[in-house]
Structure 1
Amino acid sequence: MKHVILAVFFLASAARCYDYDKVLRLSLLFYEAQRSGHLPADNRIPWRGDSATTDKGQNGEDLSGGYYDAGDFVKFGFTMASTTTILAWGCLSYKEAYEKANEWENALSAIRWAAEYFIKCHVSDYELYGQVGDFSLDQGFWGRPEDMNMSRPAYKIDKNRPGSDLAGETSAALSAVSILFANIDSNFSTNCLNHAKQLYKFGTQYRGLYHDAIKGAAQYYESTDYGDELTWAASWLYKATNESKYLEDAEYMYMKYRLKERPNEFYYNKKVAGIQMILAQLTNQAEYIEAIQNFCDFNLNVQKRTPKGLLYIDKSGTLCFAANIVFLCLQAADIGVMSTQYREFAREQINYMLGDGGQSYVVGFGENYPQQPHHAASSCEDRPAPCNWDAYRSTKANPQILYGALVSGPDMNDNYKDLREEYIYNEVTLDYNAGFQSAVAGLRLLELQAESEKSQRSYEGGLFNRNWANIFEPNATAVV
């Protein structure tokens, strides 16, 4: 009941209401616009078609599918896996919000699309493809993915060139997916879990940083350590299996890799705050609860903000950093940690992104949304019109609306430039939307709980008044 009453406070305190159902729908459309490979028959993005259908591994393995990372056409396994873990976590936590938005099936489809690709990439116990496409070649092309004709080499980790971070994050993603699908598709769930276990074993037996094996990744998605990913993987495996050995591993590595200190952020390269949160949920131990509270309190009370109140961590992916943080703080609120404050904090940050600061940063949402996201495919006119660097240089809005994409965001002074070439402001990526979408789902669930509680109180109030009247009207019909 306390949880619901707090939800009522949340709803009453909202200064401005946004259609969170619509935001969820649009965000899932963004992921569909990023799909690679053979698109399904129910594809909802009319300007997208089959692309990169012949992506192959070094020995001819089928690596079609998955998601393009950003406005380009490289498939980066590390960030795709991190995205999948956070999306699955949000679905596990806030299913009712997706159902109310009539987007549950689309959410499952988005997550399954990634998981099936990871399974393809895990070609043997100790081999995992972590990238398809060469970024230097990709950057020489501006156009539609359907029109690509450049070489698309594939890069992997193996025993001789390990990547514990990549293996660990992919393991975590597949563990989360296995939980999500356990009562929906048991065979798929089991397959995901088997791969998650194998990848965890790979990551722990053969240690190394994935960008040492996949050289091009270092320039764009460097990993600075792998202890957090292995601990993250062990935590998710325990959640998926309830096997104590995984919790023992997680707690051992938590100490070994000194993960108890307060981090400043949570994103694809830094999983510590997420580990603290999930261990708090799994164990209910004060150590982890205090750690995640320290993280959220720091961001709520100390972390730098823009003049209009947005958390400011870095100039690249400004909104992503803020959204990831408030998603974790919503998770903390759900276990009773500073529930009112953290939920209001989350609403404030997400609503800034949706328009409270005078600018919507979600393409296709609100009255003043980005017109020129840094995204090649959406900058192209309808086929058969040609698309090349002229589209990049155009001063017009992107002809195709990249619905749901969360752009990188403003600078530390709330300044924002809606220009295609200004990728610092207008870049879009898979991981930018993950924590954002999951936080929006959390806020929508709070609205639903508040509405339910309000309805119940209205009913009980009416019931009380009618039964009270029976005292003075003995012949009145009692309400049962």
Structure 2
Amino acid sequence: MAPKAHRSPSTLPELRQLILVLLLFVAPVASNAGHDYGDALRKSILFFEGQRSGKIQADQRVKWRRDSAMKDGADHGVDLTGGYYDAGDNVKFGFPMAFTTTLLSWSVIDFGKNMGPELNNAVNAVKWATDYLLKVTAIPDTVFVQVGDAFSDHNCWERPEDMDTLRTAYKVDRAHPGSDVAGETAAALAAASIVFRSRDPAYSSLLLDRAVTVFEFADTYRGAYSSSLRKAVCPFYCDFDGYQDELLWGAAWLHKASRKREYREYIMKNEEILGAGESINEFGWDNKHAGINVLISKEVAMGKADNLLAFKQRADNFICSLLPGISHPQIQYSPGGLLFKVGGSNMQHVTALSFLLLAYSNYISHSNQHVPCGQISASPAQLKQLAKRQVDYILGDNPMKMSYMVGYGARYPLRIHHRASSLPSVGAHPAHIACKAGTRYYLSPDPNPNLLVGAVVGGPNTTDNFPDSRPYFQESEPTTYINAPLVGLLAYFWAH
């Protein structure tokens, strides 16, 4: 038997570096042509108009949508019209809507200068959300966190314009706390206040003042909203990771928006108590840890907050966990190169984690830093390339040669899991379509009659296969929190 080859330790780092570079820069599926990131950006923002609830305005560009849910809040004697439907159903879930608002705002804050003529549309998308968030937080120590009974809604396949399902409004308050959804709402209001700081100072001040009071409520009356409202919010947007991360997330955005020392002191004081170092490679509507570390690291990278160095170290660890070729139990890549995490609607992970890769690469590039990952290091350019690989996969550089954004490219999903898109519009079919009458449209093999341009679906499975079929909702359903971070990514790659 021949002896095993022995590599000298000095060559191992170089070999690992070579493997990493190859994985980052050699795409497994060749692109036929460069992508029109500007077109994709326009469509990714347009998608939000198709998700609007409430009174449709005259300048609405998605013409097949009409007014819907015009009595929301009536059961509590308040006006809760407006906001977004989070996905393909007709419920307004406050937790993912607030996260969507935060990420849309972050996209504008970091990449608005790259959006060109689409910047105004992106700002309008933020405002449609914040106008609603101001309504749900108008009563002190109260946040309305959901409108619509999810079980009633999911029992029907109905246009939002036809809804006759229960529009129950659910709230958290002193007796029924919800620090998670309230903390995220505070973060959203604070982040949006930065968006409007120079555009509309009065509106910006209103958002920031409300963020402060909502955060105080979240911090004073601590508890998870899925404990207070379990029957209403679980299993749909149940808080699986606790409310602690949302308190730190809210404080981080309040510090960024207000520049008040008290929020930095809050973060430092509560860092260990609220578990800042946990779940380092998670970022989404339920878990903010990686986002907290990246957001706070900007100040550390700029030399403004050496006392928060632990956040940058955790951000480095998070980035390392995403790199292909570095083993991590919770991060995989499909054969075609798509980042993959266990659970439904994988594209939410792809866009959110790619956004953090891009944001962090920008933060550390200003100080010429690299990310140390054991015996190798990753440059800002490599992080950008990995993020770009994910965006290009979404837009069509994949084994299916399919764009996962509706309306972009030559081939894209035609049978998305989305009620309004899959049922004939009010303009085409003015008569009411009842709860169960929509089932035949749901089961139909025909393409959706209304193109929800810009919608990015949950995406393919771990083997890069995609069933273009409504019943496969984990693959075929779009969500606002898939698109929100993608807006920033597309803006950057359009400009660069």
- TM-score, normalised to structure 2's length? 0.85
- Distance of aligned partners of 1:57 and 1:198 in 2 relative to their CA distance in 1, 3 Å threshold: farther
The residue correspondences of 1:394-473 to structure 2 (distance < 5 A) are 394-445=444-495, 447=496
Alignment correspondent of 1:470: none
- Distance of aligned partners of 1:360 and 1:315 in 2 relative to their CA distance in 1, 3 Å threshold: farther
In 2: Cα distance, 1:253 partner to 1:417 partner: 45
Shift of 1:126: 0.4
Matched-pair contact (CA < 8 Å) for 2:421–2:449: yes
Shift of 1:326: 1.1
In 2: Cα distance, 1:180 partner to 1:57 partner: 31
Alignment correspondent of 1:324: 352
Amino acid across the alignment from 2:470: R
Alignment correspondent of 1:451: none
- 1:274 is the counterpart of 2:291: yes
Matched-pair contact (CA < 8 Å) for 1:239–1:282: no
- 1:50 is the counterpart of 2:101: no
Which SS does the other structure have where 1:130 is aligned? strand
Deviations 1:186-227 (A, max 9, x none): 111111011100011001100010112222212111112111
In 1: Cα distance, 2:278 partner to 2:170 partner: 34
Shift of 1:294: 1.5
The residue correspondences of 1:149-298 to structure 2 (distance < 5 A) are 149-215=164-230, 216-223=232-239, 224-261=241-278, 263-284=280-301, 285=306, 286-298=309-321
> Please, which moves more after superposition, 36-45 or 208-217?
208-217
Amino acid across the alignment from 2:414: Q
Amino acid across the alignment from 1:263: I
In 1: Cα distance, 2:263 partner to 2:112 partner: 26
Matched-pair contact (CA < 8 Å) for 1:232–1:250: no
Matched-pair contact (CA < 8 Å) for 1:407–1:426: yes
Alignment correspondent of 2:374: none
Q: State the number of aligned residues.
A: 435
Matched-pair contact (CA < 8 Å) for 2:348–2:458: yes
In 2: Cα distance, 1:315 partner to 1:204 partner: 30
- Distance of aligned partners of 1:261 and 1:380 in 2 relative to their CA distance in 1, 3 Å threshold: closer
- 1:40 is the counterpart of 2:57: yes
In 1: Cα distance, 2:40 partner to 2:114 partner: 11
Matched-pair contact (CA < 8 Å) for 1:227–1:253: no
Deviations 1:294-353 (A, max 9, x none): 111211133311111111102412111011111001111102242111000011011001
In 2: Cα distance, 1:431 partner to 1:343 partner: 21
Shift of 1:59: 2.9
Q: 2:382 aligns with which of 341, 345, 356?
A: 341
Alignment correspondent of 2:402: 359
Deviations 1:433-458 (A, max 9, x none): 1122222223223x1xxxxxxxxxxx
Q: Which runs of 5+ in 1 are unaligned?
A: 1-9, 448-480
> Please, which moves more after superposition, 299-308 or 150-159?
299-308
In 1: Cα distance, 2:343 partner to 2:461 partner: 6
Alignment correspondent of 1:4: none
In 2: Cα distance, 1:211 partner to 1:30 partner: 29
Deviations 1:242-297 (A, max 9, x none): 10000111222222222224622211111000000111113434432222121112
Which SS does the other structure have where 2:251 is aligned? helix
In 1: Cα distance, 2:94 partner to 2:44 partner: 20
Shift of 1:104: 1.1
Deviations 1:149-178 (A, max 9, x none): 222010000000000001100000000000
Alignment correspondent of 1:384: 430
> Please, which moves more after superposition, 423-432 or 284-293?
284-293
Matched-pair contact (CA < 8 Å) for 2:245–2:275: no
Matched-pair contact (CA < 8 Å) for 1:315–1:412: no
Matched-pair contact (CA < 8 Å) for 1:97–1:441: yes
Amino acid across the alignment from 2:391: I
Structure (1/2) with the larger helix percentage: 1
- 1:95 is the counterpart of 2:112: yes
Amino acid across the alignment from 1:405: A
- 1:124 is the counterpart of 2:152: no
Q: Which runs of 5+ in 2 are unaligned?
A: 1-23, 371-378
Query: Identity rate of aligned residues, in percent?
Result: 38
- TM-score, normalised to structure 1's length? 0.87
Matched-pair contact (CA < 8 Å) for 1:359–1:369: yes
Which SS does the other structure have where 1:160 is aligned? coil
Shift of 1:57: 5.3
In 2: Cα distance, 1:57 partner to 1:209 partner: 26
In 2: Cα distance, 1:257 partner to 1:444 partner: 38
> Please, which moves more after superposition, 324-333 or 16-25?
16-25
Which SS does the other structure have where 1:277 is aligned? helix
- Cα RMSD, aligned residues only: 1.9
- 1:73 is the counterpart of 2:90: yes
In 2: Cα distance, 1:57 partner to 1:169 partner: 25
Deviations 1:399-433 (A, max 9, x none): 10011111001111111100011112101111121
> Please, which moves more after superposition, 108-117 or 212-221?
212-221
Matched-pair contact (CA < 8 Å) for 1:260–1:291: yes
> Please, which moves more after superposition, 198-207 or 263-272?
263-272
Which SS does the other structure have where 1:103 is aligned? helix
Which SS does the other structure have where 2:405 is aligned? coil
Matched-pair contact (CA < 8 Å) for 1:32–1:45: yes
In 1: Cα distance, 2:270 partner to 2:67 partner: 43
In 2: Cα distance, 1:30 partner to 1:253 partner: 38
Q: 2:338 aligns with which of 310, 317, 322?
A: 310
Deviations 1:104-131 (A, max 9, x none): 1111111001001011001322011000
> Please, which moves more after superposition, 67-76 or 285-294?
285-294
In 1: Cα distance, 2:464 partner to 2:421 partner: 26
